[in-house]
Structure 1
Amino acid sequence: MEPFLPGPPEDAPVVLFVTDNGHGLGHLTRMLAVARRAGGRFRPLFLTLSEAYPVLKDWGMPVEYMPSYRRMAMTRASFQPIFARRLLALLNHVRPRAVVVDHIHPLPVMGQIRGLSRGIEWVWSRRGMWRRGFNVDALARSANFDTILEPSDVAAPMDAGATMYDRDRVVTVPPVVLIPPDEQLPRDRAREELGLPREGKAVLILLSDSETEKLASLIGRVRDVVREVAGPDTSLFAPLHILHRGRLPVIEGVAMKPVYPMSRYLQGFDAVVSTAGYNSYHEVVASGVPAVFVARDTNSLDDQKRRAEFGALAGRSYYSSGVFEADFPEMIARALRPGEREIAARVTAELGSFDGAGAAADFLASRVLARRWEPYEVPTAADLGLRSVPLPFRSGDLDPGVDPSTLAAIGYLLIGSGEEWTRDEVSRVAERYRAEGGMFRPVFLID
């Protein structure tokens, strides 16, 4: 793990990165890749809806976590004023000169805040490869931003999504990766740190699913196929995702432990079996390690199928529509053939630069420099017509479709309250938390 050092000077302008919760670590990882290349030109700060926020703290990044509307069992509409208050509090406190939003469907209230703000560059970090016909209505949100920052996709020639037709104010950078190949550990050291034997073949399993039971089944299937194709002595490794820790069962024959970012260890493997989400795909492709990509079985916005197919058509990797498909064993066999690494490396060299993170950081540095001396102004909650929130507020109270007895999380939103009242309420909630053995999640948002 690489700490965020040395830090930028205290008077450097702030860039606020706002990220969605998503299905995994994609939003966080892309923005972390950009933030770590600030080079002292700006100070990064994160406001994230992802429960994976501890990875940012591990990298020395200042971060504030706010539960998503789903986590608080709210409707998107009822969540907006609460999110807006939290965002306004941050804008007033840290006075960022740029706000970068990595979110597939930015909340409309951001546009209202931008319209009443001065001295801030509003940037939508919007990757392409949306599935055809998906999320088209979100394109109207482009008008809520000064710039659309687009991390390129090596599979862009196959992009059939809506972003291909919305190019106004788009600034394109190369594909974004967190750990470029020159920062990846050499083979022997990578294996040593992961506890894998130096000799023999090793295969990395980078699959994901929101359902723990299904993920275990997918990993088990890959293990069985690799053993059948490459022999029982082949080492297998699957990193434990931060959102699955403590819930994913031990899978016989597969070494598993928490590792982030996994891309630092890619050179330790002879082949990778991976889903084709933006981050995993580009980290693996950039590494030059042979790979078999499968599209995640989900109805999400990301067009993983086209991205995975492009790798096969370009000669960089192999594609199977699923680990249980009849052609999957053959794809594994091909990826492990002698000479595959050399072929993969040559094709990777033809795909161009993967330094989108550096280019994005350069762009943000130029924009905060331009904005730095402008008058700074942000609206108040009253300017936005935000209604007050009942206190104490229990998660789910604003969603009549939710049965309160099913709620595992309770949020107390302390907005605009006095110091003494806040202190008493925090003590009361902490007491209850201890008494109930941590069976609910207290959330404090304080203006």
Structure 2
Amino acid sequence: MAKQKRIVCYAINGAGLGHLTRLRTVAKWLRRYASLLDERPPEILFLTSSDASDTLADAGFAAFKIPSKTVARKTELNKLEYRRLAKHFVWNTLGVFSPDLLVVDTFPSGSFDELFQVLDGPFKTSFVYRNVKPEYASRATFRSALRMYDSIVAPHGMIESQRGGFAAHDGELRFSGEVIQFEHEDLLPAEQARRQLGVDPNQKLVYVSAGGGGDCDAEQQLQSLVRALQQMDNVQLLVGAGPLYRGERLAGENVIWYDGPGIANYFAALDAAVSAAGYNPFHELLFARVPTAFYAQDKIADDQSERIASATQVRACERIADWTDATEVLGVVDRMLDESVAAEMRTACESMLPSNGASRCAIELLRPLYDDARLEWAQRVLTPRLANRLEQLTGSAATMAAWLTPLMPQDQMRSLMSHPGIENVINQLSPSAATEVQQVLALSDQSDGHLMIESRLIELLESIARLDPSQQTALADASLKSIVAVMKKQPLGGELQADWATWICDIVDSVARLIKRDATSTADPLGTLEWLRLYRAFPRIVDVDALGAAELFQRLVADHLERGDQVHEINQAIQVLKLTHPRVTKLLLENALAGLTT
């Protein structure tokens, strides 16, 4: 077992929520991948100034916090003293915690330029380079700090490489795709979301947002937009104030106020949206395929106007030039509520942002700690869907290695993307050509064995999820033990088809049948845990495959139950069979079954 990794995520910034949300999303994948690669979960610590740091605890992360710049200004803390305290807070925490990896977002030298003193410390460093304005990227401190990082990843698609600060970047830069804090399957179904919000099925639902709520104009923006949109007939407004909002709460007959985290869960129910164009709300709404009109907020480093322009060029969104102009706002929203226009915009959103780059971003951030082959394997076998299912049942990322290492070992899982020359070829292509090649290569991997195994595992986990919630964790653990036991009893070399993926799929299917048997049986005196325990004790049948052995096992147990035998008597019969017959064949077991029947 490898040494437990320590990772510090630096999310100290100004008034926004973007850094914290993006790093929290990526940190989930850092935890998943490190748990898989090291066979133990890492210690991840956030350093933050965000006033929404409670969202970190909700996601299972510890955080050390200093006052935000907004609070420091409102409470009239001495500016120089605040900077001095903040710098020492960062230096001392890094010195005491002694991380293996420091991950920083957007500002490479730190919010107070304090990272210059520690970036050459005894740990690896990775930088999340969200695109910034060219004039900000050209600052000497920015460019100097960039050179001190071991890995730099842009949370954008390749098409972004010629825009903003990236255009002048002369170092190595890897593009992960946009980081989104949810997957499509995480969203509530539209009808369920509308019921929870209390929205009439015949009404249009329009989302109104000023981003995270910390912008100095957030209150005025929400008031102006809501006042304008309340004039529309048959429209319900969902106002996402954001966790940082400190202004007046808005109310009205057609206004639903929401100021907590998790507003994205309801995005599938939206007919349209009006939102600020910060990195997170912009990409989340596009990814959820919501017809949206964006307006730009003025930020030091973030060029929201350029972000909007890139999407309007492909008709993936609308632009609101003046959020105080009610006529403009009403006209844009009314146009987006037209079904034909909305359908065209949803299609454009899907084309512009087809996938979530969070997992890829985490892989690139971890690159200084692990070799490329290990990282490629981890990314290949641990997909978002499988990770979610495992965490839902076991409640922890720590089980990733226990499930995936034996079932999808590195020497059995290879892809064309892992070829050492592929990345060099891609880097020489234009951004659009590189994206197209990556998509084709990804599609070529769809028929690989790991996806067969993933599909079977998800079916098994979903079968467990439909059973008694109080036993789901125990059932997941017993299922894994049973799979590993059968792998030892029915080795690949003895199977009729000597193919790893087919072999594993058959074994998983054999265990899944026992789980599904529980769901259809009402008079079975044995619980599923007992069935799995007996299955682990069942001997190897030397002349049948895993599925054939599982069928014989179920017949044996069923016959004993018909005779009225208890579980200890069935277990005893299995042990006697193993002791008296070192090699159990299908014929021998069928003869034994015939004897039970007569």
| Corresponding position: 1:333 with 2:325 | no
Contact between 1:175 and 1:282, CA under 8 Å: does it hold in 2? yes
1:357-397 Cα offsets, whole Å, 9 max, x none, are: 101122233433369xxxxxxxxxxxxxxxxxxxxxxxxxx
Contact between 1:146 and 1:169, CA under 8 Å: does it hold in 2? no
Shift in Å at residue 122 of structure 1? 1.1
CA distance in 2, matches of 1:328, 1:353: 28
Change (3 A) 1:87 1:280: same
Change (3 A) 1:195 1:20: farther
Higher relative CO (Cα under 8 Å, sequence separation at least 6) belongs to 1
Change (3 A) 1:207 1:68: closer
2:147 to 139, 143, 150: 143
Mean alpha-carbon deviation: is it higher for 165-174 or for 139-148? 139-148
Q: Residues 42-441 of structure 1: matches in 2 within 5 Å?
A: 42-68=42-68, 71-72=71-72, 79=82, 81-104=84-107, 106=110, 107-115=112-120, 117-118=121-122, 120-128=123-131, 130-134=132-136, 136-137=138-139, 138-152=142-156, 156=160, 159=163, 161-208=164-211, 210=214, 214-228=217-231, 230-231=232-233, 233-245=234-246, 247-252=247-252, 253-296=254-297, 298-325=298-325, 326-369=327-370
Contact between 2:10 and 2:105, CA under 8 Å: does it hold in 1? yes
Change (3 A) 1:14 1:317: same
CA distance in 2, matches of 1:169, 1:74: 40
CA distance in 2, matches of 1:258, 1:68: 19
Shift in Å at residue 167 of structure 1? 3.6
TM-score, length of structure 2 as denominator length: 0.54
CA distance in 1, matches of 2:209, 2:25: 19
Alignment root-mean-square deviation, CA = 2.8
Contact between 1:13 and 1:368, CA under 8 Å: does it hold in 2? no
Mean alpha-carbon deviation: is it higher for 274-283 or for 176-185? 176-185
**Code of the aligned partner of 1:39:** R
Q: Give the structure 1 partner of residue 388 of structure 2.
A: none
Change (3 A) 1:263 1:171: same
Shift in Å at residue 71 of structure 1? 4.1
**Code of the aligned partner of 2:118:** I
CA distance in 1, matches of 2:209, 2:268: 14
1:392-431 Cα offsets, whole Å, 9 max, x none, are: xxxxxxxxxxxxxxxxxxxxxxxxxxxxxxxxxxxxxxxx
Give the structure with higher Rg (CA).
Answer: 2
Change (3 A) 1:170 1:59: same
Q: Give the structure 1 partner of residue 4 of structure 2.
A: 12
Q: Give the structure 2 partner of residue 394 of structure 1.
A: none
CA distance in 1, matches of 2:135, 2:361: 28
Shift in Å at residue 86 of structure 1? 2.5
Q: Give the structure 2 partner of residue 39 of structure 1.
A: 32
Contact between 1:240 and 1:258, CA under 8 Å: does it hold in 2? yes
CA distance in 2, matches of 1:142, 1:157: 16
CA distance in 2, matches of 1:62, 1:162: 32
Contact between 1:80 and 1:109, CA under 8 Å: does it hold in 2? no
Shift in Å at residue 87 of structure 1? 2.8
CA distance in 2, matches of 1:99, 1:74: 28
Change (3 A) 1:123 1:238: same
Q: Give the structure 2 partner of residue 388 of structure 1.
A: none
Change (3 A) 1:272 1:70: closer
2:14 to 22, 28, 47: 22
Shift in Å at residue 75 of structure 1? 7.0
Change (3 A) 1:67 1:150: same
CA distance in 2, matches of 1:367, 1:250: 48
**Matched residue of 2:261: which SS?**
coil
Contact between 1:29 and 1:279, CA under 8 Å: does it hold in 2? yes
Contact between 1:205 and 1:238, CA under 8 Å: does it hold in 2? yes
Structure 2 unmatched ranges of 5 or more: 35-41, 373-598
1:174-199 Cα offsets, whole Å, 9 max, x none, are: 01111122321111122233333333
Change (3 A) 1:96 1:76: farther
Shift in Å at residue 83 of structure 1? 3.4
Change (3 A) 1:195 1:77: same
CA distance in 1, matches of 2:168, 2:101: 26
Q: Which has the higher helix share?
A: 2
**Code of the aligned partner of 2:133:** R
How many residues get paired? 354
Shift in Å at residue 322 of structure 1? 2.0
Contact between 1:276 and 1:295, CA under 8 Å: does it hold in 2? yes
Structure 1 unmatched ranges of 5 or more: 1-8, 372-447
1:247-301 Cα offsets, whole Å, 9 max, x none, are: 42333242103231322211111001111111100000111111111112x2532
**Code of the aligned partner of 1:251:** A
1:42-69 Cα offsets, whole Å, 9 max, x none, are: 4422110111111111222111111246
**Matched residue of 2:118: which SS?**
helix
Q: Give the structure 2 partner of residue 423 of structure 1.
A: none
Change (3 A) 1:324 1:109: closer
TM-score, length of structure 1 as denominator length: 0.71
Change (3 A) 1:225 1:343: same
